[in-house]
Amino acid sequence: MNQQQYRQFLDDPRTLLNGPGNVRQIKLTGLAATDNAVSRAVMQNGVMSLRYRFSAARVTPVWLRYDATPYPATSALWVSGGPPPLPPAVIQRDRAYYLQWGVDQAYAIELGADAQLFFTAELTGCGILVFSAPQKLIVVHHNVQVPNVPQTFFQRLFESNQAHAQRSAANAVDVRAQTLYNLAQDIVATTPGITRGTLMSVAQYANPSRVFGIKRGGQWRLFVNRPVGGNYQTELLYG
């Protein structure tokens, strides 16, 4: 990734990632083990119990490279937790906030002024919450594991496996959306000064997606990089 590409990414990532060519998808490697949660977990009493913890918003070094190849599956903007095996001339080093995730847990991070980049783990059914409060932006990544709905005796007799799977999938979407809403209510009630916010469940994006942020002029803008029509599209989520 050269300096011109990196400046374009910071100024307007949609132009760079949605423009001509195959480089559309953002991929992360080597950040999954990042652990920046330091405060105790608080149980969220919603549709399902959910562990909720704030992170210390530590920053971590990242390396970015921009690969354009004839193959969409390998063309991407790569964000690595360690130096990629490429010549230094095509690598841009920076620091970023990284929002971790956990099974049946919600992690929140307060984005500040210590870095100009932010990335979440991959979204494959999770939800994202964003809140504006004085001098900070709060981002939450929540994961809810929903078991299949049980079957009555007559359902076991007459319901096909496909019908049961469809009913379970629809229930999972409803439970995750309701838990996301309950979690948002809890955060608003316990965090003074929130002025606006947004939430995004799996119903608003396709798997797998990623949310990332860029701070310019002291303001954070959040984007979602999601699959559309066999490729990836980057859209403004919050800002």
pLDDT single digits (tens) 47-67 = 444 445 555 567 888 999 888
- Res. 41 pLDDT band, cuts 50 70 90: very low
What are phi and psi for residue 234, nearest 5 degrees? -110, 125
- pLDDT score recorded for residue 53: 57
Give me the number of domains the chain comprises.
1
Please say whether the beta carbons of 76 and 102 come within 8 A: no
- Res. 42 pLDDT band, cuts 50 70 90: very low
- pLDDT score recorded for residue 214: 96
CA 212, CA 26: separation in Å to the nearest integer?
9
Report the DSSP beta bridge partners of residue 51: 43, 105
What digits encode the pLDDT tens for the residues 95-108?
Answer: 999 888 777 777 88
Report the DSSP beta bridge partners of residue 114: none
Higher pLDDT, 142 or 213: 213
CA-closest candidate to residue 187, choices 119, 130, 105 = 130
Higher pLDDT, 89 or 148: 148
3-state secondary structure 45-79: ECCCEEEEEEECCCEEEEEEEEECCCCCCCCEEEE
Average pLDDT estimate for 196-222:
85
Q: Which range, of 55-59, 123-127, 173-177, 233-237, averages the lowest pLDDT?
A: 55-59
Please say whether the beta carbons of 233 and 226 come within 8 A: yes
Q: Which range, of 37-51, 117-131, 158-172, averages the lowest pLDDT?
A: 37-51
From residue 151, give the alpha-carbon distance in Å to each of 90, 145, 154, 158, 168.
56, 19, 8, 10, 10
- pLDDT score recorded for residue 48: 43
What are phi and psi for residue 140, nearest 5 degrees? -125, 130
pLDDT at 196 over 50: yes
pLDDT at 110 over 50: yes
- pLDDT score recorded for residue 35: 66
Please say whether the beta carbons of 101 and 121 come within 8 A: yes
Give the residue numbers spanning the domain of 90: 3-238
What are phi and psi for residue 23, nearest 5 degrees? -80, 100
- Res. 114 pLDDT band, cuts 50 70 90: confident
CA 132, CA 197: separation in Å to the nearest integer?
6
- pLDDT score recorded for residue 213: 95
Percent of the chain with pLDDT over 70: 86
CA 42, CA 235: separation in Å to the nearest integer?
32
Q: Judging by DSSP bridges, how do beta strands 127-133 and 117-120 pair with one another?
A: unpaired
CA 31, CA 95: separation in Å to the nearest integer?
12
What's the whole-number average pLDDT of the chain? 80
